Amino acid sequence: MHTILVTGAAGYIGSVTCDLLLSRGYRIIGIDNLSRGFLAPIQHLQNKYGKDRLLFYEGDVTGDITARVLDQHPEIVVCIHFAALLNVGESWKIPEIYEKNNVGGTKRLLEELISHNVKKIVFSSSSTVYGNAQYLPIDELHPIAEPVTPYGKNKKACEDMLSSYANTDKLQYVSLRYFNVCGASDDGTIGDSKTPSFHLVQNAVRSTLGIASFELTYAQVDTPDGSPIRDYVNVVDLADAHEKAIRWLINHESGSEVINIGSGTGNSVFEIIEIVKKLTGKDFPINTSNDRRQNEANKMIASNQKAKEILGWTPTRTMSNSVQSMITWYTTHPLGWNTK
């Protein structure tokens, strides 16, 4: 039974990934400062798998929590680093907080991992490092120009740090560049609790259920229906990619990889809205926000060929699967973990 350190374990992707890892026999040491994560999914997983399988520590990776946890748990073999602020729109408004938390927190974490001889890490990166697509589908050889958002710049800075440490043999990493994440656990018991949510699919589902109003926040782009086309990947498929990255690191004594995680297909905003309406059988009013996103790319679709070749990973869940799991999640948890 391998022991994995998971930062950001109480967040949306972190908690779904912990669920999958625990179901496959891993033991988890979780860290989260609970500023945007929730204790409830941790308690849910501890009840499901046992507190001996999931140990949890509240703390911030910009502080000394990582050192204290690593001191107590020399059995940790791999770290998954989710802990980060991730609202792209918010990163424009308070870039200094994103720099401190995302870049500073990662730097502190890497230093502690190295000093405690934990040399393997799966890093939660983002397709935002590519900036606007120069060609499609976007593969890992796509140019990394200066990312267009502060959040994207954070992720690029963290990847640069990982590369620098790997070049001196201090770390070995797999950096997973996510495209747009959606869905809940397959049984709908663990999902996104951000309130308000800034994700399209989540907001569309919440609107059909009468939980929140729906606003279009994109800038008009040059696509058939005028709305951005994005690659949406199911959160459980994403969690599976992390587990496969752990196995790759355990089975390889050297080498690091940067790998896209996306479905390889795309949907426009209005296509997503229609899928949600069809599955719920409900319509909902659509408003237009005055706070429109900046530097909107027309179309972003991943090549996931490298993920298939290196990790043996293939997405298996459809957009309809993702929407249906979120309908179940929000029906029982209309405000996420804030309420039942």
C-alpha dist (Å) from residue 325 to 51, 187, 242: 26, 7, 20
CA distance 158 to 206: 33
The answer to whether the CB of 20 falls within 8 A of the CB of 84 is: no
Residue carrying structure tokens 């997503």:
272
Can 26 be counted among the known catalytic residues? Answer: no
Instruction: Convert 150-179 to b/e letters by CB count within 10 Å (16 or more is b).
Output: bbbbbbbbbbebbeebbeeeebbbbbbbbb
pLDDT, one tens digit per residue, over 80-126 is 999 999 888 789 899 999 999 999 999 999 999 999 999 999 999 99
pLDDT on residue 294: 62
- pLDDT attached to residue 204: 94
Supply the pLDDT for residue 340: 45
CA distances from 32 to 63, 184, 326 (A): 12, 20, 24
Rounded Cα gap, residues 113 and 205, in angstroms? 39
Please tell me the predicted confidence (pLDDT) of residue 339.
Answer: 59
Taking the C-alpha atoms of residue 27 and residue 60, their distance in angstroms, rounded to an integer, is: 21
Strands 229-230 and 267-268: antiparallel
Residues contacting residue 329 through CB under 8 Å, at least 6 positions apart: 184, 185, 188, 189, 190, 191, 192
Q: 31: which strand partners?
A: 7, 57
| Tens digits of pLDDT across the chain (340 residues) | 899 999 999 999 999 999 999 999 999 999 999 999 999 999 999 999 999 999 999 999 999 999 999 999 999 999 999 999 988 878 989 999 999 999 999 999 999 999 999 999 999 999 989 988 999 999 999 998 777 789 999 999 999 999 999 999 999 999 999 999 999 999 999 999 987 787 899 999 999 999 988 888 787 888 999 999 999 999 999 999 999 999 999 999 999 999 999 999 999 999 999 999 999 999 988 888 776 666 677 899 999 999 999 999 999 999 999 999 999 999 999 999 985 4
Please name the residue ranges forming H helices in 50-128: 65-72, 88-93, 95-98, 105-115
> Which residue carries 């001196």 as its tokens?
168
In our burial notation (b when 16+ CB lie closer than 10 A, e otherwise), range 52-63 reads: ebbbbbebbbbe
Residue 131: per-residue pLDDT: 85
Q: Catalytic one among 49, 98, 151, 232?
A: 151
The domains of the chain, with CATH numbers, are: 3-183+233-263+301-315 (3.40.50.720)
**pLDDT value, residue 280:** 94
pTM of the predicted structure, to 2 decimals: 0.96
